[in-house]
Amino acid sequence: MAVKKLIIDGSSLNFDKIKFFLTENPEITLSPNSVKAVEQSRSLVEKWVKEGEVVYGVTTGFGEFANVNISRKDLKKLQQNLILSHAAGCGENLPPHIVKIMMLLRLNALAKGYSGIRLSILQLLINMMKYNIIPVVPSQGSVGSSGDLVQLSHLVLAMIGKGKVQIVKDILDEKAPGTKIISSATALKKFKLKPVELEAKEGLALINGTQMMTAFAAFVCLKAQRLIKLADVCASLSHEALRATDKAFDKKLHQLKPFPGQITTAKNILELIKGSEIRISHLENDPRVQDAYSIRCIPQIHGASRDAIDYVSSRVLIEMNSVNDNPVIFPGTEEHIEGGNFHGQSMALAMDFMGIALSELANVSERRTERMVNGALSYGLPRFLTKEGGLNSGLMIAQYTAASLVSENKVLAHPASVDSIPTSANQEDHNSMGSIAAQKCYKIMQNLENVLAIELLTAAQALEFLKPLKPGRGTFAAYNEIRKVVRPLKKDRLIFDDLKKVGDIVRNDSLLLAVERKVSLK
């Protein structure tokens, strides 16, 4: 069997490679050009140290202490002290898959060869990822401008043998059995790896970057590119359940307002409902000329979020392949330039925008769920989609849950990037809050998954009352996938279990994959 490999060169990392990295745990190697570049920049740092060159964070203190020169004999101690003092996080631990993406992103940035770090440091990162030795990293403490200093310090703490780690069996299963927190020294010894002893520049090179916020951003982008398609599936299933008209999706209409996402969404909906017997019945028997906005304006609403997702993904792709530490080493001209590439403003704005875009998908999904359970709005469907209303509550409270989640999202979607607070005695007087924006966006994404699951469960139940009419090719595939895990609701039962089962096929992509086997979605 061929060994699955991932070559890191600092410039070509993308979302497909991150997905491959998470699902396949490939063998990671550095490109020959990266090896050469890393060695060249390290040689230059060692030359400066030997010559007594004044370089920020190499022969000086950090932040407000940049004007304090450090003696050559204390340079190793300086780098270790940096990690110990900056590992000051608190709160819940980051999910292991986010930490592993952080490790890959930091490796990719260092592999560009502008950071002045030894090759052996990069190799330890590679080996830790190989064996899923995942540092325990607290989620709170970053203001997102001198990079994610706190979280990256906790990551490096594990590399120097002073932190805690988990040896994770399934990186995508946050609750995998048998995962214990142990000392990094114990874990490294188990796999015959040695902790590193940081030398000049190396601690700073490892922690001065945007890797936590960008790890969240990359994972959210990966998910969002699938969730926008799934939102179209949910909308089309609700469209069928409410026996809506398809006039609003006519290609001619959307060519007159040619936003790419809008055109794509309209096309997707028509593909999904193609061949629907329910649609034919509407054309023959329903006098409605147009539907409510949550149905009629699906292309405009979903399309705007689709365009936002594409834009944010393009920004995250740039950040993933950038040099974002300080100072930056230029071996070709033997320069060190002190700057601010660690600043997370680009990711802060991008994640705030993504959070708003995903919140809107949840908002309109909940409105469609409400129309299906509300007897005054559902065009003949029984109230709360139950036959014996009163004795049974049906899906009444499922809609409550969706309403709760979208209300939570409205709070979470308030931009973090509009705030700032100074740190380091006002040396760092504008901070991006990108770390907060990214973590809020991650939570919004999780809420969206559950809101879409509620809409799918509701629409599938509504279709029971339209039988023997069948939905379209794509919507029928979605219905069948739901019915594989949840039977029709004939009387009240524990809805929590149903929601969890549908939520699982949303999160693991099995429902979307089943639909895409029947229709082509963009």
**Backbone phi and psi for residue 85, each to the nearest 5 degrees, phi listed first:** -75, -30
pLDDT tens track for 132-170: 999 999 999 999 887 899 999 999 999 999 999 999 988
Domain boundary among 209, 226, 243: 209
Which of 454, 253, 441, 477 minimizes the C-alpha distance to 365?
Answer: 454
Q: Tell me, yes or no, whether 187 and 222 share the same domain.
A: no
- Whether residue 62 sits in one domain with residue 136: yes
Q: Could you give the CA distance from residue 14 to residue 110 in angstroms, rounded to a whole number?
A: 16
Please report the pLDDT score of residue 284 as a whole number. Answer: 67
Amino acid (1-letter code) at residue 448 = L
One domain, residues 171 and 33: yes
Final residue of a structural domain among 169, 190, 209: 209
Q: What does the alpha-carbon distance between residue 239 and residue 278 come to, in Å, rounded to a whole number?
A: 10
Nearest to 220 by CA among 522, 25, 438: 438
| 8 A C-beta contact, residue 40 and residue 62 | no
Domain with 495 in it: what CATH number?
Answer: 1.20.200.10
As a residue count, the chain comes to 522
pTM (2 d.p.) = 0.95
C-alpha distances (whole Å) from 320 to each of 29, 218, 239, 390 are: 17, 8, 38, 55
Residue 203 sits in the same domain as residue 251: no
pLDDT tens digits, one per residue of 394-422? 899 999 999 999 999 999 999 999 988 88
Decide if 279 is inside a domain: yes
Scan for tokens 């033997």, then name that residue: 334
Q: Would residue 329 count as lying in a domain? A: no
pLDDT of amino acid 134: 96
Within a domain: 186: yes
- Any domain includes 102: yes
Number of domains in the chain: 2
Note whether 505 and 401 are same-domain residues: yes
506 shares a domain with 488: yes
User: Do 185 and 233 belong together in one domain?
Assistant: no
Whether 79 maps to a domain, the answer reads yes
Structure tokens at 325: 């530490």
- Of the candidates 209, 227, 249, which is a domain's last residue? 209
Residues 390 and 474 in one domain: yes
- 391 belongs to a structural domain: yes
CATH code, domain carrying 28: 1.10.275.10
Q: What is the pLDDT along the chain (522 residues), one digit of tens a residue?
A: 567 999 999 999 999 999 999 999 999 999 999 999 999 999 999 998 888 888 887 878 776 676 778 788 888 888 899 899 999 999 999 999 999 999 999 999 999 999 999 999 999 999 999 999 999 999 999 998 878 999 999 999 999 999 999 999 888 876 665 578 999 999 999 999 999 999 999 999 999 999 999 999 999 999 999 999 999 999 999 999 999 989 999 999 999 999 999 999 999 999 999 999 998 776 666 777 888 999 999 999 999 999 999 999 999 999 999 999 989 999 999 999 988 889 989 999 999 999 999 999 999 999 999 999 999 999 889 999 998 889 999 899 999 999 999 999 999 999 999 988 888 777 777 888 899 999 999 999 999 999 999 999 999 999 999 999 999 999 999 999 999 999 999 999 999 999 999 999 999 999 999 999 999 999
284 and 351 inside one domain: yes
**Do 66 and 160 lie in a common domain?**
yes
> Is residue 331 in some structural domain?
no
3-state DSSP of 170-188? CCCCCCCCCCCEEEHHHHH
Report helix, strand or coil for 329: strand
Q: Is residue 333 part of a domain?
A: no
Burial 376-391 (b: 16+ CB within 10 A, else e): eebbebbbbbbeeeee
Please check whether residues 180 and 239 belong to one and the same domain. Answer: no
* Residues labelled catalytic: 56
Residues 104 and 141 in one domain: yes
Range of the domain at 148: 5-209
